[in-house]
Amino acid sequence: MFGYRVPAPDEAMLISGGRRGLGGAPFRVVTGHGKFVLPVVRKVRFLTLSMCEAEVTETCVTRQGIALNVRAVIAFKVGNDNESIINAGQRFLSDQDQMSVLTGRIFAGHLRAIIGSMTVEEIVTERQKLAAEVLDTSKTEMAKIGLIVDSLQIQSIDDGDTGYIDAMSAPHKAAIQRQAQIAQAQANQAAAEAEQDAARKQAEYARQTAVVKAEYSAEVDRAQAHSSQAGPLAQAHAQQEVLAAQTELAQRQAKLRQQQLVAEVVKPAEAEAERVRILAIAEAERMKIQAEAAASHDRVALDRMLIDQLPQIVKEAAGGLSGANVNVLNGADGLGEIAAGLVAQGLTILDSVRQNLNGQGGQNTSGRPEEGNSRFELQGPRTPGQDNGEER
């Protein structure tokens, strides 16, 4: 709008003309807002409130008489209060660049004064103390011209060619170098120990690896040897089992052959011997019967007939015995018992016939059996196909 002026955030608007400002100032101060300014009647000027910088490079003499080249940087600005703005505006409004020049000169003087009261050691080791003292001594003077200092930094301190600072730092340098050498030696020792430890670990690992490889190789060799022996061992076991089976088979064959010999040779021989013995017994009995028949005249014919038939009976019995499949449990004794049983049966038959004949003797005085009486006929052994009533 025409006649309305607004200062920037980092500026102060100074309006001259008309009424005087606060405290009898020749202008009014406006910050942070706008104001109507009548053209021609009022005049507006702007004063910067932003940060400014001043650099100081000064040769200062210490309390020891040693010249030092000191370089410092000052950060300052116009104060935000109206009094500071009025003081700075009255001094620097027409040439605001003079604020940096004047501030540098002020701080150069104070810096020379403060350094003149200190030793080189204090200046070098206590830079912050030096800066604080310079700020304190310059604060009042800077306030008079409306400026405030935000920061003072001592950037460098140099003694030129005197070498005092270098000499002063030599023991520290030597100590630092010694410490550095010690640290380096310790580092080298630690590195050597680490290398030795790593070498030992590598050797131990290599040894363990070699041991494991040897164990694996031995295990593989054992497995291969066992595998190579497994075939011959299995074959030997198989052959041993075959030999055992063959031995058992041979024993069984020998036992069977022995049984066959007993059945084919021994038993027939024993049966033949028994048959001969039975025939001898029958012959003896025949001779006995003949003797008795000679004593008994009435039964001569019958006894003669029985005596004649008795060998045939015994023979038939012996023939049946020789052709029979008889299992004899007690050898020759058993055969004798069977033969004796057969003879006993024959004698029993003979006695029965005699008794029948004696019972009928009263009716037949001739001693011969009549027709219609019981007849005794000798029968041979029956074949499996014959009936019980069929005669041979």
pLDDT tens per residue across span 204-242: 999 999 999 898 888 888 888 877 777 787 788 888 888
pLDDT of the residue at 391 = 38
Full DSSP string of 133-158: HHHHHHHHHHHHTTEEEEEEEEEEEE
For residue 127, how many C-alpha atoms fall within 13 Å in the half-sphere facing its CB? Answer: 10
Q: What are the residues whose beta carbons fall under 8 Å from the beta carbon of 79, sequence distance 6 or more?
A: 85, 88, 143, 146, 147, 148
Q: Provide the phi-psi class of 7: left if phi over 0, else alpha when psi is between -120 and 50, else beta.
A: beta
CB 99 within 8 A of CB 52: yes
Predicted confidence (pLDDT) at residue 288 exceeds the cutoff of 80? yes
- Measure Cα distances from 268 to 319, 332, 339 in Å: 12, 11, 14
Full DSSP string of 211-268: HHHHHHHHHHHHHHHHHHHHHHHHHHHHHHHHHHHHHHHHHHHHHHHHHHHIIIIIHH
How far is residue 106's CA from residue 115's CA, in Å, rounded to a whole number? Answer: 14
What would the pLDDT profile of 122-153 be if each residue is shown by its tens digit?
888 888 888 888 888 888 888 888 999 988 88
The two structure tokens encoding residue 316: 């038939």
SS3 187: helix
How far is residue 378's CA from residue 41's CA, in Å, rounded to a whole number? Answer: 194
pLDDT of the residue at 369 = 41
How far is residue 99's CA from residue 169's CA, in Å, rounded to a whole number? Answer: 38
Cα 245 versus chain centre, distance: 48
% of the chain exceeding 90 in pLDDT: 8
Q: What are the residues whose beta carbons fall under 8 Å from the beta carbon of 156, sequence distance 6 or more?
A: 69, 70, 71
How far is residue 186's CA from residue 132's CA, in Å, rounded to a whole number? Answer: 42
Q: Say which residue, 234 or 370, is predicted with more confidence.
A: 234
Mean predicted lDDT score pLDDT of the chain: 77
Q: Say which residue, 35 or 361, is predicted with more confidence.
A: 35
